[in-house]
Amino acid sequence: RAVSLAGLAEARAQYHGTILSSEQNFRLTPKALRSQALCTRATVALLHGQTAAAEHDALKLTVLAPDTANTWLLLGAIYDENINTMNACDNNTEISSRQTKAANALARALAILQTDPVEPPPLWLYCRVANLCLELGDCTTASNVYIDACRRYRTSVTAWRGAGSLFLRLGQPLDAEFALEEANAIDKHDATIWALLALCNLRLYRDHGQDPVRIERAISVLEQALSLHLDHSDILCQLGLSFAELDRRALAIDLLSRANDLAHSHNEALRARLALARTHAAQNSLEDAARSFASVLALDPPSSLGIQTELDDILRRLGKHTLPE
């Protein structure tokens, strides 16, 4: 069967190649077959990393088959691939432009697929459109997309957890708490959900009346998250900073140390170490603070001016001129 399928794929590729071999052949081919041939060639180009060629064919598809979801899914995938291959040295305007194009293409595919009364669009598409919109600052669209995802996928942990995380980022802890409790009801073994619920309670304590019950709940659900081996560095860092604001510095230092140990990226490590250094300094653990500030300098020399000033202040308070052994 595999040999038969391979032969069929080769024959199909040759047929599409014939359609695309000349402008005359292309014009004389029925519209549906032209679209199929372009889609095949663009997909193959994308898989081989030839994004410029893939984009060229996909843009032709938007004229031939503008009402087909696959047209916009393919174009969105091409722009997404361009985003993935860009690095920090690339022009921010170009990155934003690609993000906008990817968001627009994928949102159009989502809108077309939403008209299907039987089968909803794939959940990954909801999540990707929402996250792109959030990166571009379109918080309203991001919220609406996640709300619709939760409506369509009522028993999906991914949908509810994504919505809860988004609402937390938007400063809407009550909405976040509702979404995360729905996620938690579906899966009580997800450490990230428990950790986000802890963060919710801390935000609600800060922003809605400073009810001490909220802190007790935060600590309780945090214990659940840690017992399930929470390994999300960024959330641990946020929790550590929140507890530091409440003068729960021992707990904050523990969480920030975990965040540093679990950091998967340069930015995560930098954020955790800097927060840890400042929390040590606030607790008057000066030698620990000095070591933590030095670790920040080792990780990110360009930031040395401000950090070195903080380190020098710590050393002055210690009555030393160099970092303690």
State which of 1-5, 44-48, 74-78, 206-210 shows the largest mean pLDDT: 74-78
Distance CA 307, CA 301 (A): 9
**Does the pTM of the predicted model rise above 0.75?**
yes
Query: What is the rounded average pLDDT of the residues 123-138?
Result: 94
Q: Is residue 272 within 8 Å of 307, Cβ to Cβ?
A: no
Residue 8 confidence class, pLDDT cut points 50, 70, 90: very low
Query: What is the rounded average pLDDT of the residues 20-32?
Result: 52
pLDDT tens for residues 305-325? 577 777 778 888 877 756 545
Query: What is the rounded average pLDDT of the residues 230-234?
Result: 95
pLDDT at 179: 97
Three-state SS string over 43-96 comes to HHHHHCCCHHHHHHHHHHHHHHCCCCHHHHHHHHHHHHHHHHHCCCCCCHHHHH
Q: Is residue 149 within 8 Å of 163, Cβ to Cβ?
A: yes
pLDDT tens for residues 243-279? 999 999 999 999 999 999 999 988 899 899 999 988 9
In this structure, what token pair is assigned to residue 180? 């995360």
**Residue 26 pLDDT more than 50?**
no
Query: What is the rounded average pLDDT of the residues 103-125?
Result: 91
CB environment 163-200: b (16+ within 10 A), e (fewer): bbbbbbeeebbebbbebbebbbebeeebbbbbbbbbbb
Distance CA 160, CA 183 (A): 5
Query: What is the rounded average pLDDT of the residues 97-126?
Result: 92
- Quickly count: other Cβ atoms within 10 Å of residue 316's Cβ: 11
Q: Is residue 78 within 8 Å of 118, Cβ to Cβ?
A: no
| Neighbouring residues of 229: CB distance < 8 A, sequence distance ≥ 6 | 191
Residue 208 DSSP one-character state: T
Q: Is residue 284 within 8 Å of 250, Cβ to Cβ?
A: no
| Neighbouring residues of 15: CB distance < 8 A, sequence distance ≥ 6 | 37
**Residue 23 pLDDT more than 60?**
no
Q: Is residue 42 within 8 Å of 74, Cβ to Cβ?
A: yes
pLDDT at 305: 54
| Neighbouring residues of 46: CB distance < 8 A, sequence distance ≥ 6 | 54, 74, 77, 78, 81
Residue 87 confidence class, pLDDT cut points 50, 70, 90: low
Q: Which residue has the higher pLDDT, 4 or 199?
A: 199
